[in-house]
Amino acid sequence: MFRANSQIQLQLVLKENARRGAQKGAAAWIVQGLKLEESKLGVAAKARGVQSTSPTADKLNLEEMRAKLLKDIEKFHKEARTFMTSNALSALLVLARDNSDLGAEWDTLEPNVSGCSDGGVDDGDEIPAVPECLQLLLPSTLGAASCKTHGLTALVETECELRIGQMNDTLHAVRVSIGYKSFLYRHRVRPATSQHKKLRSFDEVHLADEGILSNARKYETARSALLRLYDPSDPADSRELGRITARYQTLQRIDLRANTAIVESAV
């Protein structure tokens, strides 16, 4: 059954408030981390689009986005001390750099041939002084086995549920964007009676594509994080991992195509 992230968060908060001795605010804190992760993806995508020849306004906007992101990450990490043990925080702080591609694979609906999918930097390179490359102090960053060692099982369970809600939200958003793109082709692009109207319609299609790609980035990042919350060497985790990967499969570009022929025949 589809459950939005807000519904899952409400259930978790109610559970926290009802259980004596439960850690209050953990669900809200992890939700904030998930939102920061999505902000990181957005800033990274913006950074990939800003070149040395880009307008000064675009460069300034990127730096303003980075400044806000860094401030939010620092606040989030300060609050982490409430929910994580000192040993866990020490282990996480060693992971200072995010070596993922930060969603670069989903910069286009076409197959990625730019070579940017290796992402991040080499281990020997200097740590980038940009906030989108900072690791977030979440259980999924530490991994399932280390979380068990540091007594973070409850946090792992909370993040697992919220990651499922996050994936549900992003998949729904992808479906809506694909449907909207199909609508645009049927009701805007094809009936356009002038070049000006057609170009304006394609601008709308481009915005729909950006929404599809943005949510594809979020979904794949959330899915990767969720898989790290299960320990394959644990039989119970292994069974649950199989169930999760069967239901939430990796996205393929063919999944994101709007079948305008089907839409047109149904009208």
Q: Counting Cβ atoms within 10 Å, is residue 67 exposed (0-12), middle (13-18) or buried (19+)?
A: exposed
Write the pLDDT tens digit of every residue in 193-245: 777 676 677 678 888 889 999 999 999 999 999 999 999 999 999 999 999 99
Q: How far apart, in whole angstroms, are the C-alpha atoms of residue 35 and residue 258? A: 28
User: CB under 8 Å to 164, separation ≥6 — which residues?
Assistant: 3, 8, 226, 244, 248
Looking at the chain, list the stretches that DSSP marks H as alpha helix, in order from N- to C-terminal side.
5-18, 26-49, 56-83, 86-94, 139-142, 144-149, 153-184, 195-228, 235-247, 260-266
Write the pLDDT tens digit of every residue in 173-199: 999 999 888 888 777 777 777 776 766
Q: What is the pLDDT of residue 96?
A: 66
Q: What is the pLDDT of residue 237?
A: 94
Domain boundaries, the chain: 5-266
Q: How far apart, in whole angstroms, are the C-alpha atoms of residue 263 and residue 182? A: 7
pTM given for the model: 0.84
Q: What is the pLDDT of residue 89?
A: 84
> Within a 10 A sphere around the Cβ of 92, how many other Cβ atoms?
21
Residues 212 and 256: beta-carbon distance below 8 Å? yes
Residues 160 and 136: beta-carbon distance below 8 Å? no
Write the pLDDT tens digit of every residue in 87-138: 888 877 777 688 889 999 999 987 653 433 333 334 444 545 799 999 999 9
Write the pLDDT tens digit of every residue in 134-154: 999 999 999 999 999 999 999
